[in-house]
Structure 1
Amino acid sequence: MNVLPQALDAGNLRQIAQSAYRLRQARATMIVIIACAVGVIAGALVTGMSWLVQAMHWLLFDLPTGARLSAMFSLSHPTQALVPAVGGALMGLSILYLRRYRFRAPIDPIEANALHGGRMSLTDTFIVGLQTIVSSGFGASVGLEAGYTQVGSGIASWAARTLGLRRSDVRLLVGCGSAGAIGAAFGAPLTGAFYGFELVIGVYSVANVAPVLAAALCASLTATLLGAIQFPIEVGAPSPIPPTHYLPFILLGLAAGGVSIVMMRLVTLTEELFKRISIDASLRPLMGGCVVGILALVTPQVLSSGHGALHRELAMNYGFTVIAELFLLKLLASAVSIGSGFRGGLFFASLFLGALFGKIFAVATAVAAPSLTIDPTMAAVVGMTSVAVGIVGGPLTMTFLALESSGDLTLTGVVLAAAIVSTVLVREAFGYSFSTWRFHLRGETIRSAHDIGWMRSLTVGTMMRSDIRTVDAEMTLEAFEKEFPLGSTQRVVAVDEHKRYVGMLIVADLYAERPDEASGTASVGSFAKYQDTVLVPSMNVKSAADAFARAGSEELAVVADLTERRVVGLLTESHLMRRYAEELEKASRDISGESLGSVMGPG
């Protein structure tokens, strides 16, 4: 008597669905609680890092209490121009230390979520955090945001893996850590949340809204309660935007996309220039610090990330020459800092450069069309977000930054339109944001944080069959037909006397295509196919699919390596595509948060 159909009646299925729904609800609640804790920790860490860097500025540059380094009109003493060089020397010592103990290159949140299922090292987290503090604290023209997101995401990844959460939840909490860090840094939880969605998680999903927003809100509130030195971008009440100004602002977004490409190219060229100089990598930050110090003698606004300078530029209107000069100096300082080996990012530097470019555009528009007067502050906001979108990515992130800074929906609409234009130009003409461009230079193929790591882990070695049938390629046709009658098997692998791969024997074809005059003493090796097409166990699913497409075969042999060509297994194209489809469906369910409980409901 078969009891299985009776056990799986409608009532039992409903109970299973209800249990699955309750389990899913409990899991969702747990993830939100963990996300809140991650947000609190990220907010506290951002507060500590910002206070430490600001204290270093006060001490090293003899600033008045509460003053911003980049808001100063000049250095207190010319010898302070040596401070970035000292920071470069410390960075060089850290490079020597990491090289001696063979530390790998740190994995940032985007790479972790794209390739490693959200796995990040706490060691990497502390190294990046400390190097970013040293770089920005000693005045290098880099931002702290890269350090903020690294520590927030690193702690989140460690917590998720310690609790034994599944891959999709680890990736989600890494995004929560980054969202909390940005939300705390700018006092802008929506900006932080969409930074997490667009740049670290790689996709917006309704199932992910609650934990990411919770983390960003908790981080922002924690930073505020701890008295963090937050840097909200205060635009003030914007003036109404006439319809005739929409087209110029969209053109500004297009030009800002071009500026983004130029900046990313300049950073790469500067890095290549330092590499061509026959000087050890540990000495390059010292050289870069000397260059930044020289530029600081012209204006300290090029130092550090530029928070104070941005506030000053938004509040005041300087002449065209002053703004253009500062734009070029900041662009050079940031490229030299990153290219020479200082640790940090271009998040806030891109905002500052974009604001300067927006004001340059406003002046140029007034000269070209005197009847069209564009508000320089509005142009600065549009330029700020458009350049940042091109370099950092995330059009909605920057749009919400403008919204939370100004509180004006009309301005936000203009910003979104310009950001989209900038994004399209950078994607079509360049193809990368700054972070993914640097992955490209390292030989990686990722263009976002979208999870492709499962494709790399789905290798030929995990999918192949090891129960293979082989024959000596010198076996005669007569002997082969006796051992493998028609219908006994489909394919046999031919190997030589050293067990190396010779080719694939299609049994049916061997019987059907054998010429009448062929002697039964002919060797089967002469009928072997796909001699030059094999797979190796380390191939991922994409590389294997490409090999099947080139060969036009339904089954390929797997060899241990391409030198010895020792056969270790077989893989069929149908099995490969089935496994790929299964993993793709699983990844889609993880993105949407779909499960048995969500499909069947609570009953």
Structure 2
Amino acid sequence: MLLKINIRRFGPFHTLLDIGRMRALLRRSEMGMVIAGAIVGVISGLAVTGMSLVSRAMHRLIFGISDVERLSSSQIDDKFLLLTAPVCGGILLGLLLFILAKTRKKPMVDPIEANALHGGRLSLTDSILVAVQNLISNGFGASVGLEAGYTQLAAGLASKLGLKLQLRRSDLRVLVGCGAAGAIAAAFNAPLTGAFYAFELIIGTYTIVSLTPVVVSALVATQIARLLAGSDFLIDVGEFGSVMPADYVPALLLGAVCAGVGILIMQGVASIEELARRSSIATPLRPALGGIVVGLLALITPQILSAGHGALHLNLGRDLAIPVLLGLLLLKALASAISIGSGFRGGLFFASLFMGALLGKLFAYSAPYFAHATLTPVIYAVVGMSSLAVAVIGGPLTMTFLALEITGDFPITALVLAAVITSSLVVRSTFGYSFATWRFHLRGESIRSAHDVGWIRNLTVGRLMRADVKTAKAGLSIEEFKERFPIGSAQRVVLVDDTGKYSGLVLVPDIYANLTDTDDTGEDLSEFIRYKNDFLQPQMNAKQAAAIFDKTESEALAVVNNLIERKVVGQLSEAYTLRRYSEELDRRRREISGEI
């Protein structure tokens, strides 16, 4: 009995000791992060497989398809079911949104935003809720993929693990990237695609330090998914000879065309969301109304339902007329825009692959007009897939490696690389956003990628300023000012009016350098007051403060509480701001390079 008591007493101590050892290993050795990446890979593979199995089960249960069928390639004769299933999903999702609106006030953060602004901190509860909403949307046939739920859930679990281990900011961001890498790798059976998805879209940079844990996570997640599900996402491009130099001309043009279509799709989704916001329709009711439209489109063709895995493979090997391809492309684009714009949860990752394949096959009809071009429609489809996905999602190398891993053909990969670079360049030059960052822009956020800018926002004027400010009434005479502030007592004094509102700054040396009149009696400070309308606010970050210093050419400025009251709460110098900003920049550089 005594032995049992001792075990119970010291059991938690040993657990804490193990956590402490693991934390020390992660901080001191790259091998620790590799182990953590492998653990996250296992978690990601399990999460993706679980969500995929649940989605397939929902499709079988709701639409009555067989175990081997994909929803978007199935022949569903029950038209009433096609119409009502998305509506029922919208009602269920609307009910969940209504409950969440009452219980959770903070907006949900996705992995890109978490790594850009919050140092990799993600709410696991929110991540689970996003995954559930994504499953409801996809399971009832809304035209969205599961990739958003995959990455959200895997990254949320990775962030939770990192927070439990009290990882440093840079390590936590890498671990979130490991989660996203494992999710995409497991979803497409493509470890290179998953790894570069993390580097380009979730972490925002590539370093030697982050390479190993991210790649290990992607590899482990892929093996877990293969072991549990065993399905591969592969495309047989058939025999086509060799890629000729002349083939690059139509590929580059296709990349530019995909860029334009991608921009139209993103703007279409934003327009529908804006239309829904401006309407008087309550948010919980919008998914059901969107479900009606999706159901009506499904009556035309079930291929617009869900992500489109089955429809993609169904159409790759078939010879379809231009009107059929164009009609299917427009229907899928409209269904996806309506689904996301009306409030269904999901992303455009796989939808953009499907639409890109359709666009590539459409473009193949123009191939005879290109002299000496030898590409087949299937190859144009692969090029279109990657190019449109880059336009919408971003990540040129991600989509290039996806083409390599699903075709296994290096010459085609070189062709895809040229096309995706063209697509990416056109989008960046003319639009400037991917789908995720475009939605951030619409919310008022300024982030363009997952690069860590959160530390800049945390380095605020309120944290940097000095609160011990010397103040004086603006109506003081020069004589009174000299009595209160002898030379050498202060460098500058903040002036306030009778109500305590900021009136400007006075440099003490300027007062004593005034030799125009030896009698200061009765003279006021008006001619010495500077920066009457130039000041800082506590919520400004160091970068914004530095810009104001540069504009006003001042060495220091007062800090006021807000633009209306203008109560003086502190003072900040340019030299200290730049020094702290430089120190933080150097710290982030050393974290990225692995020096600390």
1:75–1:297 CA contact under 8 A, matched in 2: no
Aligned to 1:58: 60
Task: Quote the residue 1:400 is aligned against.
Answer: 401
Structure 2: which amino acid aligns with 1:153? A
Q: Secondary structure at the match of 1:140?
A: coil
Task: Work out the CA distance in 2 between the residues paired with 1:238 and 1:152.
Answer: 39
Counterpart selection for 1:146 from 136, 139, 148: 148
Specify the SS of the correspondent of 2:40: helix
Match of 2:570, SS state, is: strand
Please list, as runs of the form range in 1=range in 2, the aligned pairs for 1:31-430 lying within 5 A after superposition.
31-227=33-229, 229=231, 231-235=233-237, 239-366=241-368, 368-369=369-370, 372=373, 374-430=375-431
Separation in 2, partners of 1:276, 1:397 = 36
Structure 2 regions of 5+ residues with no counterpart?
1-23
1:81 counterpart SS class:
helix
Deviations 1:137-173 (A, max 9, x none): 0000001000000000000001101111110011000
Name the residue aligned to 2:525: 524
Distance 1:327 1:506, change over 3 A: same
- CA–CA separation in structure 1 for the residues paired with 2:128 and 2:240: 41
Aligned residues: 573
DSSP 3-state at the match of 2:476: coil
Name the structure 1 match of 2:444: 443
1:54-86 per-position Cα deviation (integer Å, ceiling 9, x unaligned): 111111111122100111244444433210111
TM-fit CA distance, 1:211: 0.2
Aligned equivalents of 1:238, 1:402: Cα separation in 2:
16
Alpha-carbon contact 1:142-1:338 (below 8 Å) kept: yes
Contact in 2 for aligned 1:46/1:181 (Cα 8 Å)? yes
The separation in 2 between residues aligned to 1:246 and 1:160, in whole angstroms, is: 45
Do the aligned residues in 2 keep the contact of 1:73 with 1:299 (CA within 8 Å)? no
Q: Determine the C-alpha separation between the residues in 2 that align with 1:49 and 1:303.
A: 17
Q: Report SS of the residue matched to 1:557.
A: strand
When residues 27 and 371 of structure 1 are mapped into structure 2, their CA distance, relative to the original with a 3 A threshold, is closer
Q: CA RMSD in A?
A: 1.8
> In structure 2, the residue corresponding to 1:283 is in which secondary structure?
helix
The answer to whether the 8 A contact 2:197-2:395 is kept is: yes
> Quick one: distance in 2 between partners of 1:234 and 1:159?
39
Greater mean deviation of Cα atoms: 242-251 or 273-282: 273-282
For the structure 1 residues 236 and 227, does the alpha-carbon distance in structure 2 shift closer, same or farther, using more than 3 Å as the test? farther
Instruction: Tell me how far apart the structure 2 counterparts of residues 589 and 213 of structure 1 sit (CA, whole Å).
Output: 22
Partner secondary structure for residue 284 of structure 2: coil
With over 3 angstroms needed to count, the CA separation of the structure-2 counterparts of 1:372 and 1:210, relative to structure 1, is: closer
CA spacing shift, 1:373–1:189, aligned 2, 3 Å: closer
Structure 1 residue ranges without an equivalent (≥5)? 1-21, 596-603
Give the 3-state SS of the residue equivalent to 2:366 in structure 1.
helix
CA distance in 1, matches of 2:514, 2:312: 78
- Name the CA distance, whole Å, in 2 between partners of 1:553 and 1:75: 74
Compared with structure 1, are the counterparts of its residues 151 and 428 closer, same or farther at alpha carbon in structure 2 (3 Å cutoff)? same
Distance 1:172 1:60 in 2: 39
Residues 1:467 and 1:274: Cα distance change in structure 2 (over 3 Å): closer
Distance 1:242 1:478 in 2: 87
Q: CA deviation at 1:360?
A: 0.5
Superposition deviation, residue 429 in structure 1: 0.3
Question: Cα deviation per residue 1:316-352 (whole Å; 9 max; x = unaligned)?
Answer: 2222221111111101100100110000000000000
Maintained 8 Å contact 1:39/1:176: yes
The alignment partner of 1:591 has SS state of helix
3-state DSSP of counterpart to 1:295 = helix
370 and 205 in structure 1: CA distance in 2 versus 1, 3 angstrom threshold: closer
Structure 1 residue 229 displacement after superposition: 4.7
> For 1:332 and 1:414, how far apart are their aligned partners in 2?
29
Q: 1:89 to 1:518 in 2, by over 3 A?
A: farther
In structure 1, distance between residues paired with 2:565 and 2:245: 71
After TM superposition, the structure 1 stretch with the greater mean CA deviation from structure 2, 548-557 or 134-143, is 548-557
Aligned equivalent of 1:19: none
Q: Quote how far apart the aligned CAs of 1:23 are.
A: 7.4
Q: Distance in 1 between matches of 2:40 and 2:235?
A: 25
Contact 2:535 2:558 in 1 (8 A): yes
Q: Cα deviations across residues 182-214 of structure 1 (Å, max 9, x unaligned)?
A: 000000001000000000000011111100001
Query: What is the letter of the counterpart of residue 472 of structure 1?
Result: K
Q: Secondary structure at the match of 1:361?
A: helix
Cα deviation for residue 51 of structure 1 reads 0.5
Q: CA deviation at 1:516?
A: 2.7
**2:43–2:154 Cα contact (<8 Å) kept:** yes
- Would the aligned equivalents of 2:233 and 2:406 in 1 still touch at CA under 8 Å? no
1:504-515 → structure 2 map (5 Å cutoff) = 504-513=505-514, 515=516
Q: TM-score when scaled to structure 1? A: 0.92
TM-score normalised to structure 2 length: 0.93
C-alpha distance in structure 2 between counterparts of 1:233 and 1:179, whole Å: 22
Distance 1:170 1:255, change over 3 A: same
Alignment check: 8 A CA contact 1:157 1:174 kept: yes
- CA deviation after TM superposition for structure 1 residue 372, in Å: 4.5
Does residue 569 in structure 1 map to residue 570 in structure 2? yes
The 10-residue stretch of structure 1 (234-243 or 47-56) with the greater mean CA deviation from structure 2: 234-243
Deviates more, 1:34-43 or 1:468-477: 468-477
Question: In 2, are the aligned partners of 1:60 and 1:80 still within 8 Å (CA)?
Answer: no
Q: Conserved in 2, the CA contact under 8 Å of 1:152 and 1:181?
A: yes
Identify if the C-alpha distance between structure 1 residues 273 and 25 changes in structure 2 by more than 3 Å, giving closer, same or farther: closer
Q: Which residue of 2 aligns with 1:452?
A: 453
C-alpha distance after superposition, 1:222-267 (max 9, x if no partner)? 1111125554455456542222111111111111111111111111
Please state whether the residue corresponding to 1:282 is helix, strand or coil.
helix
Shift in Å, 1:517 = 8.0
- For residues 398-417 of structure 1, give each alpha carbon's deviation from its aligned partner in whole angstroms, at most 9, with x where no partner exists: 00001111111111111011
Are the aligned partners of 1:257 and 1:425 in contact in 2 as well (CA < 8 Å)? yes
Give, in whole Å, the separation in 2 of the partners of 1:382 and 1:370.
Answer: 19
Q: Which amino acid in structure 2 is aligned with residue 459 of structure 1?
A: T
Q: Distance in 2 between matches of 1:285 and 1:229?
A: 31
How far has the Cα of 1:528 moved from its partner?
A: 1.5
**CA–CA separation in structure 2 for the residues paired with 1:25 and 1:507:** 50
3-state SS of 2:559 partner: strand
Distance 2:106 2:224 in 1: 33
**Paired amino acid for 1:426:** V
CA contact 1:186–1:233 (8 Å) conserved in 2: no
| 1: CA distance, partners of 2:428 / 2:371 | 33
What residue is the counterpart of 1:491 in the other structure?
492
Task: Give the superposition deviation at 1:374.
Answer: 3.4
Q: Please give the alpha-carbon distance, in whole angstroms, between the structure 1 residues aligned to 2:117 and 2:169.
A: 11
Give the distance between the partners of 1:45 and 1:479, measured in 2 at CA.
Answer: 73
Structure 1 stretch 512-521 or stretch 584-593: which is displaced more? 512-521
